[in-house]
Amino acid sequence: MATRSGSSHSATSGGGNGSGSGTDIPQGAPVRGRPRLVKPRRRGDTARDEILDASAELFTRHGYTGTSTRMIADAVGVRQASLYHYFRTKDDILAALLATTVDPSLEQARELLAADGDPLERLLDLARYDVTQLAAARWNLGALYLLPELADSRFAEFRTARLELAAAYESLATAAVGVASDTRSILPFRLVESVIMMRSDETRGELGDHTVTGLVDTIVGAIEMLMTHRPGS
């Protein structure tokens, strides 16, 4: 299934100094200020936001293990030691980025599960919200879902949140089709996440004249057709 890009190759490629273990920042390092080497050069209202923006670009373009904290610091324009004030390890940066891909949609899902109304309409509302934020995000962070590091306990919180989101989709879809054993209920979540691979295709010029943001209605419409079509009818 497609998972929540640069390309999946760049997100999983190896190589690079002090990057895979998540321990490249000493645990005992003192917390320092943030002396600038140059004027701010990244998007973000705070230094933390700038670090996350730079890390997202580097992780999706060079791979997680191919990105060192020195590269991140250079991209932001701060001393490497200044990263310690915001993130103790590179794993902490990755975890924060992953949370941005799931937490807003999970909050929306919880609200829709608790709401009244047609379950199909609530499912479609969730899908539209989710696919829109995945399609419009500055960097295609979904490619990072393919990282083998995510199986580690360090990222258990992210995995738990994503599983809860998937379960919310399945619950709404099951209510929409009216049959608990109907396997169509597992598909809406996966169709939403297909936007991640479409973004990779678009980046490589392999999506034709289409854009991912222009396909939001198509994806939501496909989910509606899937839910309303009766197999064998």
pLDDT digits (tens, 9 = 90+) for 75-95: 999 899 999 899 999 999 999
pLDDT in tens, 107-130: 999 999 999 999 999 999 999 999
Is 78 in contact with 37 (CB distance < 8 Å)? yes
Q: What amino acid is encoded at 185 in this protein?
A: S
Is 184 in contact with 224 (CB distance < 8 Å)? no
For the chain, how long is the longest CA-to-CA vector?
67
Q: Select from 3.40.50.300, 1.10.10.60, 1.10.357.10, 1.10.3720.10 the CATH code of 92-228.
A: 1.10.357.10
Rg (CA), the chain: 20
pLDDT in tens, 56-65: 999 999 999 9
Q: Which helix (H) or strand (E) element contains residue 120? A: helix 119-136
Length of the chain: 233
The average pLDDT across 171-176 equals 98
Q: Which helix (H) or strand (E) element contains residue 61? A: helix 47-62
Is 24 in contact with 18 (CB distance < 8 Å)? yes
CATH annotation of 8-89: 1.10.10.60
The total of other beta-carbon atoms located within 10 Å of residue 142's CB is: 25
Is 100 in contact with 51 (CB distance < 8 Å)? no
The domain spans of the chain are 8-89, 92-228
